[in-house]
């Protein structure tokens, strides 16, 4: 009898526990808040990739017509060779690093809701052809920018979901 009571009580307690994605709220408040974000203009190609991906994640790609929040976003990128061919003194592989610093503010009272800094790394190979080398660097920067946007999106979702 005692065992049955413990099992039933445990089942009732666990029934109240649930795990769900950050963006899935029942009332739709977090989604509406994310759709009401205005983003600062980008000054670099990697910054523009990050900003555009954030716009797509939060609003489906459209700029907010009535923003309630503002995100000041600064993205810096760097590319470096990491695997050197000693005989030819050239890099065979590299990495693209995108670093984003952002501030989420409420527009109505200029309150800072979240400050953050995130970094993303994308690895790539250097081919022998010059155009292919430039293209692989550009593709790696784009991948790093998209990953950076996903990280910032998760931070914004957590900040606005509270």
Q: What is the CATH number of the domain that holds 111?
A: 3.30.160.150
- What range does the domain containing 40 cover? 29-160
- Is residue 130 scored above 60 in pLDDT? yes
- Is residue 25 scored above 70 in pLDDT? no
Encode pLDDT of 56-101 as tens digits.
999 888 888 889 999 999 999 999 876 555 556 565 788 999 999 9
Whether residue 16 lies inside any domain: the answer is: no
Whether residue 64 lies inside any domain: the answer is: yes
In this prediction, residue 47 carries a pLDDT of 96
**To which H or E segment does residue 59 belong?**
helix 45-59
Whether residue 72 lies inside any domain: the answer is: yes
Whether residue 134 lies inside any domain: the answer is: yes
- Is residue 34 scored above 70 in pLDDT? yes
Whether residue 137 lies inside any domain: the answer is: yes
Whether residue 23 lies inside any domain: the answer is: no
Q: Has this prediction a pTM greater than 0.75?
A: yes
- 158 Cβ neighbours under 8 A, 6+ residues apart: 22
**Strands (DSSP E) found in the chain:** 37-39, 69-85, 90-106, 111-125
Average pLDDT along the chain: 84
> How many domains are contained in the chain?
1
- Is residue 11 scored above 70 in pLDDT? no
Q: How confident is the model at residue 118 (pLDDT cuts 50, 70, 90)?
A: very high
Encode pLDDT of 148-157 as tens digits.
999 999 999 9
Whether residue 144 lies inside any domain: the answer is: yes
Tokens 């000693």 label which residue? 86
Whether residue 3 lies inside any domain: the answer is: no
Distance, in Å, from the CA atom of 69 to the CA atom of 140, rounded to the nearest integer, reads 30
First to last CA, the chain: 42
């Amino acid at each position: 009898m005692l065992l049955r009571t413990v099992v039933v009580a445990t089942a009732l307690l666990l029934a109240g526990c649930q795990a769900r994605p950050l963006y899935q709220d029942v009332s739709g408040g977090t989604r509406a808040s994310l759709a009401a974000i205005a983003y600062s203009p980008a000054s670099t190609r990697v910054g523009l990739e990050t900003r555009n991906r954030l716009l797509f994640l939060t609003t489906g790609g459209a700029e907010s017509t009535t923003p309630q929040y503002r995100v000041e976003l600064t993205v810096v990128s760097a590319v470096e060779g990491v695997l050197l061919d000693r005989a030819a003194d050239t890099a065979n592989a590299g990495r693209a690093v995108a670093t984003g610093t952002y501030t989420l503010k409420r527009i109505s009272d200029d309150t800072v809701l979240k400050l953050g800094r995130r970094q993303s790394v994308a690895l790539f190979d250097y081919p022998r052809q010059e155009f292919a080398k430039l293209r692989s660097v550009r593709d790696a920067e784009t991948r790093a920018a998209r990953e950076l946007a996903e990280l910032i999106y998760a931070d914004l979702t957590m900040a606005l979901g509270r």
